[in-house]
Structure 1
Amino acid sequence: MTSAEPVGASVVSITGEPEFESRNRGRLRSLGDVLAETDEKLRQGQTAGARVWPTGFDSLDMALTGGFRSGELVLLGGPQGLGKTAMALQMLRNSVAANRSAVLFSYEHDAHSMLERLIAIEAGAIAGTEGVGLTKIRAGFEARHSRAKSMRERFGDTVGGREAVEALESYGQRLHVHNSSGMHTTLEEIRTAVMEVIASDGRPPLVLVDYLQKVPVAGAIGEEERVSIVVERLKDMALELGVPVLAIVAADKSSLVAGRRMRVNDLRGSSALAYEADVVLILNDKYDIVAKHHLVYHLGNAERFRHWVVMSIEKNRNGADHLELEFQKRFEQGRFEPEGRIVEEQLIEERVFQE
């Protein structure tokens, strides 16, 4: 198998440093080799099982028995504007803050936009709801007459801003951002870039693809064929390189109807999405999917439910599935409260109002 050409400076750490190198792995091994390798790891005091990357969302990690695993393909879907990118980026932040590495293939946003979001997420983690929000962070970067000569100075008078910048500086070399293109960032380039990060950091990263339907495939006839190829090869890459791949997935247009609950079969493109993935997480707005009686007989619930998102674990090969968790939105900071909890209210498949 021939690797794609190096991607060069398009792969950068969050602080702007280029990353290079690559490595190959043999595919055919006897069971005896696996046994010997496992014994050697145990003798050296190393873990012999899959590596685990905690998401930092406590109730989700509990359901996943620790977090995302090496070799897993995880899909995160949901309606537009519900915070899929925010949640995935928060998971990446949590991973690198826990001394792991990560790489983001961003087909939707540039590296500076990710930097703004990360400052807001970090400020929220440091100072809670009082932390500086995205609007003020963006205004701070856009101000032309500030005397501040650094990001620390620029956000020194905001709540949690200076500390957030310092935190990013502490783990910035472990978080890599690829400015991806729907025309040029192919599966081969993704694989090559991940191998470069592995060689540079000396350890496998958590990989985020935002989003799956944007990955180009040469010669694919239609979207269904293209999505099938992408999801199959991302799964192959996860197994080959020993990394977890988290891919954001767009919803089919027919599912984007108010009062309708989105499920795994509403993901856009191909039935291969559900078949190939190890974990499928679907986000829905809580207000849209709670049973009618929670709104009719408890009017105060309506506004409260709008501040929560429900995450359905539709598939989970290594833990609990068909589990409904909820997380509070903090969209002014581009994040969610990480604790979460199991949904207590009754949920519905579709909201049907009848006289």
Structure 2
Amino acid sequence: MGTVYVVPSNIKKRVTPYLRSQANKFVVRVQTELTEGYLLKLRQEQRAVFVHRAGSEFARRLDKAGVEWYALIATLDEQAPPEELLNQLEDLGLAVVERHLQGDAQYLLEELPVLLDARAQRNVFYPIGLPQLDAALGGGLYPGLHVLGGATAGGKTALALHAAEQNARAERPVLFVTYEQSRAELWTRLISSRVGISVSQLRKGGTAEEPVGTLLTGKAEYRELASSVAPYLRIFEGDGSSGAQQWGVERIAAEVRRVRATFGQSPLVILDYLQRMPSQVDADKRHRIDEVVSALQVQLGREEETPILLLSSVSRGNYGELLTRSLDERLVVFKESGGIEYTAYSAMLIYPLSAENAMQLGLPSAPASETSAALLGNWRYLVVDLVKNREGEPGLQLIVKWWPRSARYEVVCPVDSNELTGESFKARRAGR
């Protein structure tokens, strides 16, 4: 039984006539010829397979079939005579087997230094725009999965848009896929915060006498947004009415590759939000979410070296108590998906700071209620809580002022749990 080599169709076409004289020393196939039945036969016969140009999807298929296979990394001289092509395949096969016998020695001596040097040549960090949080993450979001959780209308999308705009202004590409709001709605929120026209006026389109579109194009702030932010920020609606229109992980990965080809670096991918994303698995909600989380980490984070900010809905709960709970208790808020807890590189929560907690921390009261803050242009307090941080210390809780109307954030201070439960608060309260 000959050694099985999987090659592109043009190479197979060139070497096939020569194979007849090789007494079954070589078996050359293209990927489409490796049917499930053929893969099962290879596994039963314990035959190794050497693959030239193995894509990630085909590699996963071979892994799933349980076949012993090796990737031929070096290129072939496709213009060489058939005999020479087969010799090249055989030499590459022997080299890759020898490499496996050496463990990771070649990786440490040759590949890893090149990889690290390449990372130094590009900016792999995408800041969120809250300096203390970015510092805790080592500079911002790096390739891999990062999750931002919060209740409905709790500020997740606003913070994600803030991060998207900040990075786009720094000429770092951003891919924002929305599964809930429309592309127009998200751009409307950005435009309103920068141009000064209310969201409601933009949604209505103005009046017949004064259409908003004409008003916008005459504003310098709008033209600045179009020239400075829009070239680097692309927003897609991911919840198409048909399966072909929906943005699953594979389609996002394809767009990432297009963006990288254009800008020379992978974009920051923002997904809003997890529970609305399509899944390839026909299972209950929890297992579908786990499948999506795992696919994002593997196919986008690792294979495409892409930073992902995944928004996730969590139950509202008692946020006043959440602020003072242990780190493990706060992380459990992501209970809909154990995949988040174990798979994500970092996990953050965003929730409002209660008036009672603000008083305990000695902070001035917010000027308006939560419901009226956006309409009046006032600010309100939020807590941004770093509950998981694989590359550093978790547990950072930041009090942030948020102006919804202008989409502005200002870090007030980190939370000191002693201020909420310790003697300092009791003494301060007694003095009032």
Which residue of structure 2 lines up, in the alignment, with residue 169 of structure 1?
A: 227
Deviations 1:38-82 (A, max 9, x none): 5557888x7169811122211211211210112x21110112212
Q: Decide which of 230, 237, 246 is 1:179's aligned counterpart.
A: 237
Q: Secondary structure at the match of 1:69?
A: coil
8 A Cα contact 2:320 2:353, kept in partner:
no
Distance 2:105 2:162 in 1: 39
Which residue of structure 1 lines up, in the alignment, with residue 101 of structure 2?
A: none
Distance 1:115 1:149, change over 3 A: closer
Distance 1:148 1:301 in 2: 36
Distance 1:289 1:74, change over 3 A: farther
Q: Decide which of 250, 266, 271 is 1:204's aligned counterpart.
A: 266
Q: Is 181-190 or 201-210 further displaced after alignment?
A: 181-190
8 A Cα contact 2:345 2:389, kept in partner:
yes
8 A Cα contact 1:73 1:246, kept in partner:
yes
Within 5 Å, give how 1:213-228 maps onto structure 2: 213-228=275-290
1:104 maps onto 2:168 in alignment: no
Distance 2:293 2:239 in 1: 18
Distance 1:32 1:169, change over 3 A: same
8 A Cα contact 1:107 1:180, kept in partner:
yes
- For residue 290 of structure 1, report the CA deviation from its aligned partner: 2.3
Q: How many residues align?
A: 306
Distance 1:43 1:193 in 2: 26
Identity across matched positions, percent: 24
1:195 maps onto 2:260 in alignment: no
Within 5 Å, give how 1:13-32 maps onto structure 2: 32=106
- For residue 152 of structure 1, report the CA deviation from its aligned partner: 4.5
Q: Secondary structure at the match of 1:103?
A: strand
| TM superposition score normalised by structure 2 | 0.62
Deviations 1:186-242 (A, max 9, x none): 222222222222223332000001001111113422111001101111111211101
Distance 2:344 2:351 in 1: 19
Distance 1:87 1:171 in 2: 16
8 A Cα contact 1:120 1:137, kept in partner:
no
| TM superposition score normalised by structure 1 | 0.74
Within 5 Å, give how 1:53-202 maps onto structure 2: 53-70=126-143, 72-121=144-193, 123=194, 132=196, 134-135=198-199, 138=202, 141-146=205-210, 150=214, 152-154=216-218, 156=219, 162-181=220-239, 184-202=246-264
Q: Decide which of 317, 329, 334 is 2:402's aligned counterpart.
A: 329
Q: Secondary structure at the match of 1:246?
A: strand
8 A Cα contact 1:53 1:68, kept in partner:
yes
Which residue of structure 2 lines up, in the alignment, with residue 51 of structure 1?
A: 124
Which residue of structure 2 lines up, in the alignment, with residue 256 of structure 1?
A: 317
Q: Decide which of 272, 286, 306 is 1:243's aligned counterpart.
A: 306
8 A Cα contact 2:150 2:349, kept in partner:
yes
Distance 1:170 1:177 in 2: 15
8 A Cα contact 1:258 1:288, kept in partner:
no
Tell me, which stretches of 5 or more residues in structure 1 are unaligned? 3-23, 124-130, 157-161, 349-355
8 A Cα contact 2:398 2:411, kept in partner:
no
Distance 1:68 1:137, change over 3 A: farther
Higher helix share: 2
Q: Is 225-234 or 52-61 further displaced after alignment?
A: 52-61
Deviations 1:252-301 (A, max 9, x none): 3xx4357442832122522111110111100121117828x729xx8964
Amino acid at match of 2:106: G
Larger Rg: 2
- For residue 31 of structure 1, report the CA deviation from its aligned partner: 5.5
8 A Cα contact 2:122 2:265, kept in partner:
no
Deviations 1:132-168 (A, max 9, x none): 25436626843332277656545x3xxxxx3254133
Q: Secondary structure at the match of 1:55?
A: coil
Q: Is 280-289 or 49-58 further displaced after alignment?
A: 49-58
Computed over aligned residues only, the root mean square deviation of the Cα atoms, in angstroms, reads 3.5
Amino acid at match of 1:78: G
Q: Secondary structure at the match of 1:332?
A: coil
Distance 1:234 1:139, change over 3 A: closer
Distance 1:192 1:110, change over 3 A: same
Q: Secondary structure at the match of 1:51?
A: coil
Q: Secondary structure at the match of 1:53?
A: coil
8 A Cα contact 2:168 2:228, kept in partner:
no
